[in-house]
Amino acid sequence: MTAPDLAAAASVIDLASKVVDSAVGQLAAAGSIDDHQVLAYDVAHAASAVATAKGLLDYGAKGDLEGRITCAFVADAVADLAGKVFGQEARWGVEAGALDGARDFLATYRAPEFLAGITDPGPRHLDGDFEMVQDTFRRFADQKLAPIAEHIHRENGDIPEEIIEGLAEMGAFGLSIPAEYGGYGEGGEGEYIGMVVATEELSRGSLGAGGSLITRPEILARALIAGGTEEQKHEWLPKLATAEVMNAVAVTEPDYGSDVAGVKVTATPTEGGWLINGVKTWCTFGARADVLLLLARTDPDRSIGHRGLSMFVVPKERGDGHGFELVQAAEGGAPGGGKMEGRPIDTIGYRGMHSYEIALEDWFVPAENLIGLEGGQGRGFYYQMAGFENGRLQTAARAIGVMQAAYEKARQYAEDRTVFGSPIGEYQLTQAKLGRMAVIIQSSRQFAYVVSKLMAKGEGAAEASMIKAYVCKAAEWVTREAMQIHGGMGYAEEYDVSRYFVDARVLSIFEGADETLCLKVIARKLVADAKA
């Protein structure tokens, strides 16, 4: 087995970074990113992979297997970059052969024999406390989520209340809520890493019935922490921490997805509060939710874009998972008669949470439910971003959990299935595929820990977008190959691996569609930094 060479890996990463920097310089000089979207998109993904590789170097120094995983990932990331650059050197602002210095490294660490020798994703190197978090949530996922995950997927069923109650008892909904507001968050990197570890393990059991359950409270909690008054924090955060209140997020609209500044749903002042009118879509968990975190236009002047948006906590009754109609009673200051109708949107995967198109007609929201009260008017976009930044890191953790589940099933099937007289796990092609899966999973996981530490210091917004962009796309490849290793059985619903594949497909769509994330967030940040 070839020994890892971390010095060479660092040198190759440096070479790749220069190529990416050159392309960023091209974009900066060109003016509008939108005139060069293909280049900007490729640069954003390349930068994300390079950032992941850089974040892996410390991990690679912790042992032989860790070093081999690091070298294999770096080689793959640079090979992918080379494919993007080849024939497009002028666009990237580099000479032909700009990555030739990495040729020997790639030949060594992308060799099938090298990949085939990586037989597991390696140790996580978590501190003892986080190992305990991992064990606790993995046990719950194995015992409670895995047995029901396939039934929920096939029947498009609801998440059982005992799952919500069980997670609440474990403190899953209060991981990022400060202790002073009834949660378990104590600030620092531990809060973020704990959330990542828990989310991964729950998503390994079920994306729809586990990992995603704790995302929505996380988004609302972050929005409240960013802009809520003390009274609002004390009112809502303890209820979120105990799951007394479960929430959905109502931001997207039929004509406005990632283009949040165009939101049309209106909030009009009325006696004692606001009346909400309009339609939201892709409101996941909208029926079961007790409140919606809703973004609405409070300033009728649409020309001011996102500066006219505000964020509300919108109470509602629980509705039927397969569609609901609610009529507001005349109580608690509400004039009565407000209507809310939820139409379910059937999806190929990610079932259990259920997504809805929700129409609101004169739905009354008390004045005290405007996040930030008077000072929060026009600040809704920023409160949403505070919630979604962490949501992107959490989505990456969900992707890692799905990949881990798919890898485990594929490896077991490869051991058990015999073809042409031998277990398929003994064939080089299968071994190389499993090796590459292991490399991607651990590299993604370690970068998630790196981003967690950055976010704990108030940094890492760009890296949170990068990890989502990289990991969610990688999850499609990992689950696809896990399905392929199963052959025909991978296409059968009775095998979990088919569910992982369709679940993984949603990850590059929500919490910021991949294209929007790359063009409007990552590429813009790279160009802004280059101009600074």
What are the catalytic residues? Answer: 511
For residue 241, the number of C-alpha atoms closer than 13 Å in the C-beta half-sphere is: 20
Max CA-CA distance within the chain? 78
Q: Where are the alpha helices (DSSP H) in 307-379?
A: none
Distance, in Å, from the CA atom of 335 to the CA atom of 458, rounded to the nearest integer, reads 42
Name the H helices within 173-298. Answer: 189-205, 215-227, 230-242
End-to-end alpha carbon distance in the chain: 45
State the Cα–Cα distance between residues 466 and 242, nearest whole angstrom. 32
- Three-class secondary structure of residue 360 per DSSP: strand
Dihedrals φ, ψ of 263, to 5°?
-45, 135
Bridge partners of residue 312, in order along the sequence: 294, 370
Distance (Å, whole) CA 68 – CA 434: 14
* DSSP conformation letters of 148-188: HHHHHHHHTPPPPHHHHHHHHHTTGGGTTSBGGGTS-B-SS
CB atoms within 10 A of CB 158: 18
The span from the CA of 440 to the CA of 83, in Å, is 18
- Rounded Cα gap, residues 441 and 86, in angstroms: 27
Query: Which DSSP category does 365 fall into?
Result: E
Instruction: Tell me the C-alpha distance between 414 and 394, whole Å.
Output: 30
C-alpha Rg value of the chain to the nearest Å = 24
Strand-pairing partners, residue 327, are 339
